[in-house]
A and B are shown apart, each in its own frame.
Chain A
Amino acid sequence: MRAPRAERGAGPKQLGASSLVADGVSFAYRNRTVLQGVRLELCPGEWLALLGPNGVGKSTLLRLMGGLLRPAAGEVRLGGERLERISSWRRGQQIAFLPQSGGYPEDLTVEEVVALGRTPHLGLLGRAGQADREAVEWAMQETQVSAFRHRLLPTLSGGERQRVLLARALAARPKFLLLDEPTNHLDLHHQAEFLALLAGLRAQGLGVLTVLHDPNLARLADRVAFLAEGRLLALGQPGEVLTEALLQGVYGHQVRVRQLEGQPVVLLGG
């Protein structure tokens, strides 16, 4: 069984025909409504940061847009097509997902882990061909992990390991990359390094959606979507969204926003 190759049937041309769109999606865990009528569009070549307090459904929205959860209402469209109508293999070829702490294999080498990213193109039984090997090489180059391709993951630093997992996601050569708090366990240096990497990928036409906690990291993104109580509170450029009024209103904490080189910087406390 070999999964169908990507780049087939672009679908009808319409608004958002090349983007990943959550259109009025709602979701509930048992009785607790997490998201209600959220509309969000992720375009190719943009970095969109999803921000908001704990438990407002950021990760849920990410999973809905990745097809890992089904919306209770509304729909998610990939290139104008309903995500549910797309085969899971084709979905995996176009949307890559990196969870917050999915664990990492201890007994696989870096190269073996990155090669797992080709699964959507290979299906259950397909054998890796030239295109697959090239994609794995490319992903390792982009993330600068080629140098330790034969090492096992437990022997790497946290930052290196996170780059390997990113390379795994990139190896599918997806159009969209969904990352759940990718910098959570990284120190300042590795956070900066990782985000610079994302910025570079965006320049190659990849649409990147990241759940982030820190507004000061989110300000590096092209656009910021601010979620609160299951709804989209604000959406726009970081300078428009990250205002004192909005942050204080949501977090109930004194916040100051200062401009630094034309970018908002968020400071806690009076």
Chain B
Amino acid sequence: MQKTSYPGLAPPIARGYGGIGRRVLVFLGLLVLLALGLVLGVGQGAVPIAPGEVVRALLGLSENPIITELRLPRALAAVLVGAVLGISGAAFQGLFRNPLADPYLMGSAAGAAFGVTLAVSLTGGLSSAFAQHAVFTHLPASATLFGFLGALGAVALALLLSGGASRTGDLILAGVIVGSVLVSLTSYLMLQDADRVRAVFAYTLGNLAFVGWNGVGSLALFLLFTFPLLLLLGRTLNALYLGEETARSLGLPLEGLKLLIIVVVTLLIAAAVAQAGIIGFVGLMAPHILRRLLGGDYHYLLPASALGGAVLLLLADLLARTLVAPAELPVGILTTLLGGPFFLYLLWRGRRVA
């Protein structure tokens, strides 16, 4: 009989995941980590700020421009983008019935990168200041919009090529093809204008420095409407564990639901990737870790993955800003550097157990 998840990554626990107590504990732990991560993330940097001062500023009891103008929007961007990556990863893993499915799987990342690069090369929209001090300047609105549309367009194209959402295997293949073509087009555009390449490149590597309050605001507003839709799909994703045919036999209108999942995830990912670039492995790691702690029930896994993704990206961005201070790393490089070995370790341990 065929298993629905990768054998090397099977949970080592023979018994179930305990009852409600364990779940409450995991969620409480995530919230505590999130609060700690926020205080730490806002406090650490070129100018360290004491935790007490951070908490006072966060509560609005004192004014600190470093916090309100720089660190807080960046930390909130990490929370929002991380949450999007976590929940999208969980949803795609359920939809594609593969624990290694990535939220960018259907070409959205390549589409966003292409859109941003195209916008920059069309408008010459990067001021010289942006090119030189990319870290302190926000991405122009046109680039964000193009990134968003690029991600949507790539997934729409993949859907079109695979003839809708009914055949999941075709969908993945179409996404990979569209992604590859867009990556080469992006590279071509970059070669045309070497001066701007660095800034665009820094963006595609994943960087929360570009987001700013406007980005945080629009992202938050956007999430408000799309996020709850995913939280409602717990039963659908659970039923998909049994295979698509069985899920349909249970009465689920699967064609529509699969399309809904793809559309919502694509909207979320497009919004996130347009603001912060491509940040790898968070969407893989957060659901994976939480699946081990909570079990596979998507009613809990979806919200927990959102919280877990937020915590992971918050901490990763903290490291990205402080490891090589006063310079900083694109957070996408860091998550990939940390995520790669994490999965190698899981593979290695799975093999040893087997």
* B-side contacts of A161, CB under 8 Å: 1
| Chain A residues whose C-beta falls within 8 Å of the C-beta of B249 in the assembled complex | 66-68, 92, 95-97
Interface string of A64-106 (1 = CB under 8 A from B): 0011100000000000000000011111110111110111111
Task: Tell me whether A109 is interfacial, beta carbon within 8 Å.
Answer: yes
**Residues B16 and A102 in contact, CB atoms below 8 Å apart:** no
- State whether A151 touches B16 (Cβ < 8 A): yes
CB distance from A145 to the nearest CB of B (A): 13
CB–CB B16/A109 < 8 A: yes
**When the two chains form their complex, are residues A125 and B235 in contact, meaning their CB atoms are under 8 A apart?**
yes
Interface string of B66-83 (1 = CB under 8 A from A): 000000000000000000
Q: Give A101 to B239 CA distance when docked, in angstroms.
A: 15
Contact B243 A185 (CB under 8 A): no
Find out whether the CB atom of B15 lies under 8 angstroms from the CB atom of A150: yes
> How far is B94's CA from A105's CA once the two chains are assembled, in angstroms?
11
Contact residue among B15, B97, B252, B291 (Cβ-Cβ distance under 8 Å from A119)? B252
B11 interface residue, CB < 8 Å from A?
A: yes
Say whether, besides A97-B245, A103-B1, A88 and B251 are in contact (CB < 8 Å): yes
The chain B residue with its CB closest to the CB of A106 is B5
CB distance from B212 to the nearest CB of A (A): 37
Interface size on B, residues (CB 8 A): 35
A120 beta carbon closer than 8 Å to chain B:
yes
Distance in angstroms between the alpha carbons of A93 and B245 in the assembled complex: 15
Task: Report B1-15 CB contacts with A as 1/0, cut-off 8 Å.
Answer: 111110000110111
Closest chain B residue to A172, Cβ basis: B250
Return chain B residues, CB-CB under 8 Å to A116.
238-239, 241-242, 250
Q: Is the interface of A mostly helix, strand, loop or mixed?
A: mixed
Interface positions of B from 1 to 55, Cβ below 8 Å from A: 1-5, 10-11, 13-17
**Which residue of chain B lies nearest to A1 when distances are taken between CB atoms in the complex?**
B232
Q: A68-B249, A101-B2, A103-B2 are in contact. Are A150 and B16 (CB under 8 A)?
A: yes
Binary interface encoding of chain A residues 140-180 relative to chain B, with 1 for a CB under 8 A from any of its CBs, else 0: 00000000001110110010010001001000100000000
A106 engages B4 (CB within 8 Å): yes
Would A124 and B11 be within 8 Å (CB), given that A103-B2, A104-B3, A109-B17 are in contact?
Answer: no
Q: Select B3's contact among A150, A154, A158, beta carbons within 8 Å.
A: A154
Contacts of B13 in A (CB 8 A): 152
Instruction: Specify which chain A residues have a CB less than 8 angstroms from the CB of B14 in the assembled complex.
Output: 151-152, 155
**Do B97 and A103 have beta carbons less than 8 Å apart?**
yes
Q: B108 — which chain A residues lie within 8 A by C-beta?
A: none
- Asked whether, in the complex, the Cβ of B239 is within 8 Å of the Cβ of A103, the reply is no
Sampled A-B contacts (22; CB under 8 Å): A67-B249, A88-B253, A99-B245, A101-B1, A101-B2, A102-B242, A103-B1, A104-B4, A105-B241, A107-B5, A107-B295, A108-B238, A108-B241, A108-B297, A111-B16, A112-B238, A112-B295, A116-B241, A116-B242, A119-B239, A124-B257, A155-B15
